[in-house]
Structure formats: C-alpha cells, structure tokens
Amino acid sequence: MEDKPFWQVTAPHRDPGRTLDAELTCDVAVIGAGFTGLRAALALAEAGSSVAVFDAEDVGFGASGRSGGQVNPMLTVKRPGDLRKAVGDTYFERMAEVSLGSADALFALVKKYGIDCEARQKGWIRADHNPKAKAVSRAAAEDWNRFGAGFEFIERAEIERLTGSPTYDSGTVSAKGGAVQPLGLVRGLAKVAEAAGVKIYAKARAENLERVDQRWRMSVGGKSVRADRVILTTNGYTDGLFKGLRRAVLPLSPVQIATGPLSEEELAPVLPEGHTISDTRRLTMYSRREPNGSVIFGGIGYQRLVERLGGFQWLLRDAPRVFPSIKPESWRYRWGGRIALTHDSTPHLHEPAPGLVAGMGYNGRGVAMSLVMGKVLAEATLGAEIESLPFPVSPVEPIAFQRTQVFGAGVAMHALRMRDRMELG
C-alpha cells in the first residue's frame, strides 16, 4: 500500500506557490493556505484589500487537502440544546442557520467560480451502529428538523440498498450533504483567489510575529512582512506563532485508505446513488465512492511519538465488514492529516489581540464549516461589528492535558474500538 493521499492522483495540477524573495507590505496577512485562509483571502481581495497568504508547506498540504472531502451540513454538537448551552441564545440561532446551510453555501461557491473539484450534492447517510445509537440519533435529528435540517429516516432494506452494506439496520439521510475532491477544491479556491489579486507564498513559514507601531510584523524566510491585520487559519497545524493558541485545540488524526478503480463486481453495490456515509460509532467510519470507480474509507487514527500515524490496521479490518464486495487487496493508498477539536464541539473565533483574528476547531466538519469561518474572518477583518457575526468571540483557553491526550490517544482508541465492536455484535 502506497503512503500517498489519493487526492493527489485525481486533483487538477497546480504549480508550486511563489516564494518570498523581498520584503513585503500588505493590508492583510493570512497564515495558512487551506479552506479557511483562502476563503478569507478571496473575500478580502474582492473587497479591495491587498492580501498575502503564507503557508509553511503549500496550498492544501494540511487537512484541507487530506480530508475525507465529505460535505456534512451540521455541527458535531449532538442536539440543539447542547449548542444553545455552548454559545447562548443569540449565537445559537446564527450558528444553527450557518451550519445547516453550510453545504448549500459550499456548492453555491463552487458553481459561482466554476471550481473543478468533482462536486456532487447527492446526500449523506449517517448509519446507526446499534439500536441504542438509533434512538439517540433519531431523537437528535428530529430536534434539528425543527430548525430546518430536513433529515429523513430509513430502515434496513433501504439503507442496505443505498449503501451496499449489510452492517446497519437504520440511518438518517441529509439530502443537502455531498462530496468534493478536497485537494481539487482548495487548489481551485487558490486559483480564484490569485485571479482576484491574492499573493500566495509556499514554503513560507511565518515566525516572530509581533505588534509594532500599530501594525503587525513577522519574518518569512528571513524577509520582513508588515501587515495592518493578520488572520491565523492553521487549525490542527497551529504552532507557537501566537502564544497560547496551539493549546486551545486538541489535534486529532483522521486516517484514510483508498482503492484504485474497482471492477464492476466490487463497485456496483457500494453507495450506488452517490451518497456519502458515516456511522454513529464512538470512532466513526466514513466512506464514499469516486467518479473514477475508486472507494475511500476513513476513520480516526492516532499520532505516535515519532511523526507516523497509527490506525490504518483498524481500517483494513473494518472495511470488509462494511463493504464485503471490495477485495482486501484492492486497497492501494493510505494517508492521514490533522484536524482540531474544541472543548464544546463548536468552531471558535478568536480575537486575542488588536488587528488579529483566528478561526479554528471544526471538530470533523471542516470541509463546509471552514469556508463559513473564512468568510466570517474576512468580515471581522473588514470592520464588521463582532456582535453581528454568527460565531461568538471565544477566549483563548488551553485544553487541559492536551499533550497527554494527543500521545495517549492510541491506548484510549483501542478501548473505544473494543466497545464499538462489542455493540456491533
């Protein structure tokens, strides 16, 4: 099996980003060339700002180009009451609206700019892994339907027909859900942003960020960059550029495997109408089929002490149970990335210093919600009243025992997988 993101095989080509070879001054410096940063940069450039985007690697290197590419129109907050408790009454209404509309907003953005990313809005199935999960999931979906979620419910015969999996007895369907080729989307977004005047710099790690004379100054590759305002959009890859921000989220490492193009016998039963799927296990499975006849299968992995990911063995054991038509030897690619969790399962908007904002913590819903956050960060940077935005400004607070949780995740996940396996029977 090749250690390579499948998305690199099918994404439209992009030349490496430019390098910074001289000092630079701009209105806004954006750190991070993923969905959030590029969406913010595009909105700012269209409003007339001069914008430069810097990434320590290149466009889409992080979670944006390594994700499952599923466009799921809701937060991971279980029920409306949980969201209301987390953000209060005013922001509850706003966050419910933007999250439930996030998939429609993404597909509208793709259509508006003609982005080549294999976008399809054919629905998302959330499969119940046991009767107890069904009761909890259905009650939550019925609650969200009161706010316009539009969830529908299916039983065994229909979920087996729509997924090709004999594993599940019931599920919830969101017609608004769908999928994109994530690396194609982020590269396409970069192309649109560049056409609007945004300068994107690769292999351009920002360092020594400081506030000097009412402006921000930092060093990129030994060159000085000055900006009136700064937007930080590094999410699970956040480093020590701004003190304390890295500890405000819990990095998590999803892992994925992919087949090459499958035979008709293997492929025909799998998600025949183009839905995406995830399930209700503690360590969820998610999957989709591709236009070229491949299948993607993902789950939650863990970070080892050295820079290697664990968890692929779990996927290879799980895949034949979920999709028995796919031969074990058909899996050809494996890869992972790094997302970010927050303590309350909601995205966080931070304004830790004058002229500096950050958006992070999508809790596994980053494909759609990161684009929402990028637009909101641009609005905040352009002077919108913070109180008018759909996200409250969250204090930068450390997650307790963050490092221990990251490197102890493997042990914890083994225990969770055992519980999931026992419930599946």
Kindly report, residue by residue over 314-334, the tens digit of the pLDDT: 999 999 999 999 999 999 999
Task: Reply yes or no on whether the pLDDT at 385 is more than 60.
Answer: yes
Query: How many other C-beta atoms are found inside a 10 Å radius of the C-beta of residue 403?
Result: 11
Q: In whole angstroms, what is the distance from residue 374 CA to residue 89 CA?
A: 23
Whether this model's pTM surpasses 0.85 = yes
Task: Reply yes or no on whether the pLDDT at 152 is more than 90.
Answer: yes
Mean pLDDT of 16-21: 89
Residue 23's SS3 state is coil
% of the chain surpassing 90 pLDDT: 89
β-pair type (151-155, 199-201): unpaired
Side-chain-side CA neighbours of residue 239 (13 Å): 10
pLDDT at 425: 54
| Segment 169-204, tens digit of pLDDT | 999 999 999 999 999 999 999 999 999 999 999 999
Task: Reply yes or no on whether the pLDDT at 76 is more than 90.
Answer: yes
Task: Reply yes or no on whether the pLDDT at 236 is more than 90.
Answer: yes
Token pair of 266, please? 């293997």
Q: In whole angstroms, what is the distance from residue 309 CA to residue 317 CA?
A: 17
Mean pLDDT of 250-279: 97
Mean pLDDT of 134-151: 97
Mean pLDDT of 231-253: 95
pLDDT band at 386 (very low <50, low <70, confident <90, very high): confident
pLDDT band at 416 (very low <50, low <70, confident <90, very high): confident
DSSP secondary structure string for all residues of 173-241 = EETT-EE--HHHHHHHHHHHHHHTT-EEESS--EEEEEEETTEEEEEETTEEEEEEEEEE--GGG--SS
Q: In whole angstroms, what is the distance from residue 346 CA to residue 384 CA?
A: 21
Q: In whole angstroms, what is the distance from residue 392 CA to residue 56 CA?
A: 29
